[in-house]
Amino acid sequence: MMIKDVIPGFELFRPRTVADAVTLLDQHKKDAWKIAGGNDSLSWFKDRLKRPKVVIDLTGIAEMKGVKETADGIEIGALTTLTDIENSAVIRKSYRLIADAASKVASPQIRNVGSIGGNLAQDARCWYYRTGLPCYRAGGNACFADTPEGQNREHALFDANRCVAVSPSDIAPVMIALDAKMVIRGAKGERVVAAEDFFVGPRIDITHMTQMQPEELLVAIRIPKAWAGARFYFEKVTDRNAWDFPLVNVAAALRTDAGGVVQEARVAIGGVACTPRRIGVAEETIKGKKVDQDLAQLAGQSSTRGARPLNYNHFKIPLMANLVMRGVRDAAS
């Protein structure tokens, strides 16, 4: 019988600077676990499914908090809480898409402590994986969701490769829609990765959701000014309005001319693949045109090409089509 709610012992470090945190991560590597808000980490610990020898509490690192304007756009510290992002005057004025998505994450209590970096880097939510079964993602040799008896209504429509878990983040598709860059720091220095490349599927690494290595740290997210003041749309569909992960969510960013003709478009969907999925076919459908209901519906229908539903998630196909349709229609209007 599995013992629940008793956290195994570990050594705790609380660095005050990014440099100190990186030194600790490099020293302890795979033995270390990074924690910020703790919403995801503590559930792993209580279920005794993760037993790190060292926990590095990042919450004391002031340089990883806050939103600042730069010559190229804005930079958001990875430890900035979702509540602070939702209420940021800078974000609400020019990048409302981020605030809209942040306001839909979980509950107010969770948003008060949950960080944007934690939301982006959180692990898969498949319950077979979360209950400690030896699935592919956990290092085993089976996918318990992708079987005739598997419960998979929340799982993937696209790009499944052994694992059919989906990206659970509400912020992730927003970062792709805004062409964000992730700033990652490690002992070897700093590297900047496009949001589309930051998230990885099981074909690349089945045990991780992002390309960050255990000894690396996500320190900031940079949003280019090219998308400041664009037309935005975010919507999330869940089983419950609060404290729930998306069945499907959509983020759209459009630039139009004075006549309403789409000059640039970026549309991304979450909850349908192991990574947030950019919908290039919908972008091409509306680019250079003035969006009306028929064109928006065509963009939505085209976005589902190649979908391969599992036993219980067929409903996600029309749901995805409708969300993309509303995303491009309402952003354009």
CA dihedral 313, 330, 305, 223 (to 10 degrees): -90
The answer to whether the CB of 172 falls within 8 A of the CB of 120 is: yes
* Whole-number pLDDT of residue 5: 67
The whole-angstrom separation of Cα 259 and Cα 58 is 48
pTM of the model: 0.95
- Report the pLDDT value the prediction gives residue 15, as an integer from 0 to 100: 98
Q: Which two tokens stand for residue 303?
A: 């976005």
Distance CA 324, CA 296 (A): 8
Domain ranges of the chain: 8-58, 65-121+166-332
Q: Taking the domain 65-121+166-332, which CATH number applies?
A: 3.30.465.10
Give residue 76's identity as a one-letter amino acid code.
Answer: I
The residues that bridge with 198 in the sheet, in sequence order, are none
Residue type, position 173, single letter: P
pLDDT digits (tens, 9 = 90+) for 18-57: 999 999 999 999 999 999 988 889 888 888 888 999 999 9
- 8-58 and 65-121+166-332: same fold? no
- CA distance linking residue 199 with residue 45, whole number of Å: 24
Low-confidence residues of the chain: pLDDT under 50: 1
Give tens-digit pLDDT for 298-323. 999 999 999 999 999 999 999 999 99
Q: Report the candidate in 322, 321, 327 with the shortest Cα–Cα distance to residue 303.
A: 321
Nearest to 134 by CA among 233, 49, 63, 236: 49
Domain 8-58 matching CATH 3.30.43.10: the answer reads yes
